[in-house]
Structure 1
Amino acid sequence: MPKPSLIVRKLDPENKETPIQFIESGPIDNKLFFRRNHFSYPSLSQVSYWLPVNGLVNHPKLFSLEEIRMLPSRTVKVVLECAGNKRHFLEPKVYGEQWEKGAISEGYWKGVPLRDILKLAGIKQSAREVLVEGYDSGLRTDTDKIFTFSRSLPLEKAMHPDTLIAYEYNGQPIPFKHGYPLRLIVPQWYAMASVKWIRQISVIGSGFNGPFQSVDYVYYPNKETDADAYPVTIQNVNSTIQKPLNMEILNTGKHLIKGIAWTGKGVITKVEISLDHGKNWSSVEIGEPANHGYGWTSWTYEWSVTKKGEYTIMTRAADSHNRTQPENPFWNQKGYGHNAIDKIWVKVE
């Protein structure tokens, strides 16, 4: 039987989706984990790899990989979702990778809490943010200048015990294409925060304004101007129908509808389904909330259909912070954070 493979959106830099509709359960094997790159892959050597920690610290440090692996570790199950996931479905259309529903994956990440590394260096009182720079770099067409991919975290998020400098994924060294040898993992934030191929960590005393923080990964809600812009951070509550497939032809009888739901705040508390284009809603059976991690929640619904015809199936999720998927997506210039009610169409013959 053929096995699913990544869906290509771009070859250089490599951007590929997880075939989310064919994933039975998590964690996602690294070969099917979505790939999001702004530049070509960097050239790295483990032999000469060191991690500098500098800036507003009392004791600048230079860590070897062996030293990092010897520190107390944590393992967390995390959903990583590209901020542009589902951009393809936004209307009016916006430029950017036209991700459908597969710019999302989940798995177990093992590493050292970033706060432990920072405590060893001693954070100064004037510290405001923690800047993480990757090894990936290249030319930005909007400026004609070369930049490295760099992002900062507010001190509070950087010091969260589950914000990790990770070195393993699903019990194995992080694959090179997903950030080997060290990758930042920031649970509940969109995946742009989880910087790959960490080059250095700097504690800074002001807000970072690099292009991947002040230009990209910013919500611009107005079509003509940049007014009222604000940064992309926490994942929205969301859901995806995995089965049946969109535009699938079904027979009458019983069908198992299944999917996933996830959130960047708290846990999923409810998923509802509509089989009549949103006129009526029913609760579905949801799996155990991800109380011990930040993974997605699987859900199922048994549908008995006796009447032939065309059906619109819709799902909406809610979380423990009273956030619910909206009927319509929040339009913004770059198409981030799409979390409108999920929708597919099927025909019953």
Structure 2
Amino acid sequence: MRTHESAYDRRRLRQWLAGEARADGVSRRDLLRLLAAAGAAGAAPVALGAPARAAATAPGIVKPLPEELFTVRGTNAETRFAALAGTGYHTPNDRFFVRNHTSTPVLSAADWALTVHGDGLTRDRTVDFSLADLRKLPSVTHTAFVECAGNGRSLFTAQQGQTVSGTSWTLGAIGVARWRGVRLADVLRRAGLSRRAVDVMPRGLDADYVTADGAGLGRVRRPLPLSKALDDVLLAYEMNGEPLPPDHGHPVRVLVPSWIGIASIKWVGDIEVSAEPLYSPWNTDFYRLFGDAYPDGGTAPLTGQTVKSAWELDAGAKLAAGTAHRLTGRSWSGAGGVVRVDVSTDGGGTWHGARLHDAPRRDGWVRWSTRWRPPTPGPYTLLARATDSAGRTQPDSTVHNTQGYLFDAVARHPVNAV
């Protein structure tokens, strides 16, 4: 399935460049301008000199953001990985990271409706679904991670000395939840899916997104190939056994397992089903790879996530020297379940296997642990390197791209023995 989707995305990209695809709400001229801007080497760099301020609130975020749980990054809130230690497999709702392009809308479930429309439906019709309508359909519960494509972005600069643009996430722009909802495939078929359909584009109900230079891009939206939409995508209305919280998509969000987080549109309000390929800024100028190592026009739109590992410790954590410590962490991948995690406590001089506490699964993560007794006081660098069932192992470095997506290299985690 993944190979077919990659080929399909490449074909859609060629169609768009040839003028044979439609870009929702954005002119072809504007998209060319945005593409040029996205690929420019002069993109605004990530600021890494000073850490982001931790605060109790952030603009446009509803839930409390205590500094022991989150680091606020503009309109976003990153989970502190140390706050996940001992919390179990699923990320508690109050600790789940928040990625907002604008601000969280507070919507009424009773007044909400989903509109499905487009020429990819029979007779080019429009069909509305209330939340009650969705709840009448067979429900599905699925545990999966949601992860921002820029998770780990700051490490391009911190570890590799490279300039990238975007929010300077460390590794906390991920969370795993138990989602409950209905299959998008069931909703599309109820709406009257046509054999002519090729693309499905969900759109959120958050405010229109305006770039720093004043370009209005409309509400957040991103197309999916029909093959993925009919596979494992959910319209979720519950998160960890509770109605979706406002910051995580209330009353209904899209969940696209194993793909980059932008595909999982929050606060979904309408879905266009199209008989021709669709494009939006979120798969043309954003969420593609640009840079010296990539084609001049950028790569095909990003889909699947990469493999990563993180320690459940704050950077610079103090540990007693000469004392045995049980250190923990988590590893995950969008291509396959994590089957092995190797760790080093001496900056990569020696490695040994960590103990895994969960079965490997592509859409989730594994928790792991290792024992370590720092021999003497001083600084140390911890490393964790995961391998997934598809045979991918975290590399020593990630190929640079200008927007800092898909960092997958082994992260260097400093601690101090005292």
- Same fold per superposition (TM over 0.5): yes
Figure out how many residues of one structure are paired with residues of the other and give that number.
343
AA partner of residue 292 (structure 2): N
Superposed displacement of residue 225, structure 1? 8.2
The residue aligned with 1:343 is 412
Q: Kindly report the root-mean-square deviation, in angstroms, between the aligned alpha carbons of the 2 structures.
A: 2.1
Match of 2:170 among 82, 100, 116: 100
Q: Is the alpha carbon distance of 1:345 and 1:5 closer, same or farther for their aligned partners in structure 2, counting shifts above 3 Å?
A: closer
Identify the residue that residue 196 of structure 1 maps to in structure 2. 266
1:67 matches 2:129? no
Structure 2 unaligned blocks of 5 or more: 1-65
TM-superposition CA deviations, 1:193-223 (whole Å, max 9, x none): 1001111111112322211111111111328
* Aligned residue type for 1:85: N
SS for the counterpart of 2:408 is coil
Q: Secondary structure at the match of 1:230?
A: coil
Tell me whether 100-109 or 221-230 shows the greater mean CA deviation. Answer: 221-230
How far apart are the structure 2 equivalents of 1:50 and 1:265?
34
In structure 2, relative to structure 1, the CA distance for the partners of 1:287 and 1:43 (3 Å cut) is: closer
The answer to whether the aligner puts 1:229 opposite 2:293 as a matched pair is no
Q: For the Cα contact (< 8 Å) 2:330–2:368, is it kept in 1?
A: yes
Higher mean displacement: 44-53 or 250-259: 44-53
Contact 1:222 1:228 (8 Å CA) reproduced: no
2:388 aligned with 1:324: no
| C-alpha separation in 1, matches of 2:344 and 2:294 | 36
TM-score (norm: length of structure 1): 0.92
Q: Secondary structure of the residue that 1:305 maps to in structure 2? A: coil
Q: Determine the C-alpha separation between the residues in 1 that align with 2:387 and 2:151.
A: 19
Matched, 1:140 2:185: no
How far apart are the structure 2 equivalents of 1:121 and 1:224?
39
Residue type at the aligned position of 2:142: V
Cα displacement (A) at 1:5: 2.8
- Structure with the larger helix share: 2
Alignment check: 8 A CA contact 2:217 2:281 kept: no
Match of residue 104 from structure 2: 41
User: Are the aligned partners of 1:83 and 1:192 in contact in 2 as well (CA < 8 Å)?
Assistant: yes
Distance 1:6 1:304 in 2: 29
Matched-pair contact (CA < 8 Å) for 1:241–1:342: no
Kept after mapping to 2: 8 A contact 1:244/1:257: no
Comparing 270-279 and 321-330, the one that deviates more: 270-279
Partner Cα distance (1:324, 1:342) in 2: 13
TM-score by length of 2: 0.77
Letter of the 2:69 partner, please give it. Answer: S
Which residue of structure 1 aligns with residue 228 of structure 2? 157
8 Å contact kept, 1:52–1:60: yes
**Greater per-residue strand proportion:** 1
Residues 252-291 of structure 1: pairs in structure 2 closer than 5 A: 252-291=322-361
Cα pair 1:83 1:336 within 8 Å, conserved: yes
2: CA distance, partners of 1:89 / 1:57 = 44
